[in-house]
């Protein structure tokens, strides 16, 4: 991917390698909630049995795919403690009632089972109108703790300056799209916007060496373990 792409900073962040490592460590029966085209199946080890689940209207209407199981994250069609791991990538923000989904995940996971969760913190509205929330790291830890999980890793993705550059690039890309769709008389501006995307990406990456806190990541990746069984 070239720096002209508005999500270039995410692509080069190294998070793909980290996610691969987290997924490759999963064993046993692994449920991928919101599996779309099952693209995560190939990233699991040979010791994992992949099960893809998606909502019917999402799978058939949006992606044109057929998962192993049709279902809702809030009412999972699996027995108690019947799964060894659950993947929840770019899904929880789209669930109306995320605490219910986390309770269901806790129910179907065995004690010691793993949850790999990826969720945006600062990112544009997407898949509207089904985009309901963002969580801070503190909220994420609190929700998981209440549901009987122990957080093993909670990693912010992108430094604040990179997140700011990413938002700038996505805003410029949105402007270009609106010109192409609705304001074609502004077409001469599009190459300028593309140049600004390039410069924003390079500036964000170039300044990423600056010291920073973790106050403004773009995403969080969480690995948690089902620690106990309780009444949620």
Q: What is the pLDDT of residues 154-168, one digit of tens each?
A: 999 999 999 999 999
Q: How far apart (Å, rounded) are the C-alpha atoms in residues 93 and 220?
A: 12
CA 225 remoteness from chain centre: 18
How many Cα atoms occupy the beta-carbon half-sphere of 158 within 13 Å? 27
Give the residue ranges of DSSP H helices in the chain.
Answer: 8-11, 15-24, 56, 98-108, 137-146, 160-182, 190-206
Judgement on whether residues 77 and 106 belong to the same structural domain of the protein: yes
In this structure, the answer to whether residues 32 and 139 fall within a common structural domain is yes
Counting the structural domains of the chain, the total is 2
So what's the pLDDT on residue 62? 74
Confirm whether 85 is domain-assigned.
Answer: yes
Distance CA 212, CA 198 (A): 23
**How much of the chain, in percent, has pLDDT values that exceed 70?**
98
CA 159 to chain centre: 17
Per-residue model confidence (pLDDT) at position 10: 96
Q: Does the residue 123 lie in any domain?
A: yes
The reply to whether 145 and 183 lie within a common domain is no
Separation of alpha carbons 12 and 212, rounded Å: 19
Same domain, 102 and 172: no
Residues of the chain with pLDDT under 50: 231-232
Confirm if 1 and 21 have CB atoms less than 8 A apart.
no
Domain that holds residue 174: 161-206
Distant-in-sequence, close-in-space partners of 184: CB < 8 Å, separation ≥ 6: none
CA distance 163 to 212: 12
pLDDT given for residue 115 in this prediction: 98
Q: Residue 229's pLDDT is what?
A: 62
Asked if residue 8 belongs to a domain, the reply is no
Residues 30, 122, single domain; the answer is yes
- CA distances in angstroms from 144 to 95, 136, 149, 162, listed in the order given: 16, 12, 5, 27
Is residue 71 within 8 A of residue 77, CB to CB? The reply is yes
- CA separation for the pair 150, 224 (Å, rounded): 5
Looking at residue 196, its pLDDT comes to 98
Same domain as 166, residue 54: no
Residue ranges with strand state E in 25-174 = 28-33, 48-54, 69-70, 83-89, 109-120, 149-157
Report the pLDDT value the prediction gives residue 64, as an integer from 0 to 100.
78
Same domain? 143 vs 178: no
């Amino acid at each position: 991917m070239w720096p002209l792409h508005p999500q270039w900073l995410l692509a080069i962040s190294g998070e793909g390698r980290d996610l691969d490592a987290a997924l490759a460590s999963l064993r046993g029966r692994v449920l991928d909630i919101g599996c779309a085209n099952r693209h995560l199946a190939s990233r699991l080890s040979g010791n994992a049995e992949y099960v893809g689940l998606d909502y019917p209207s999402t799978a058939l209407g949006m992606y044109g795919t057929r998962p192993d199981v049709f279902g809702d994250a809030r009412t999972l069609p699996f027995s108690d403690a019947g799964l060894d791991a659950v993947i929840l990538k770019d899904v929880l923000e789209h669930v109306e009632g995320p605490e219910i989904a986390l309770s269901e995940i806790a129910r179907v996971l065995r004690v010691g089972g793993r949850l790999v969760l990826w969720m945006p913190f600062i990112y544009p509205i997407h898949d509207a109108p089904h985009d309901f929330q963002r969580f801070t790291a503190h909220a994420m830890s609190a929700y998981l703790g209440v549901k009987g999980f122990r957080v093993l890793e909670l990693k912010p993705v992108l430094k604040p300056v990179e997140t700011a550059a990413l938002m700038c690039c996505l805003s410029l890309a949105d402007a270009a799209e609106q010109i192409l769709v609705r304001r074609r008389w502004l077409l001469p501006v599009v190459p300028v916007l593309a140049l600004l995307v390039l410069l924003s990406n390079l500036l964000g990456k170039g300044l990423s060496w600056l010291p920073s806190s973790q106050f403004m990541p773009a995403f969080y990746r969480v690995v948690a373990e089902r620690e106990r069984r309780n009444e949620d």
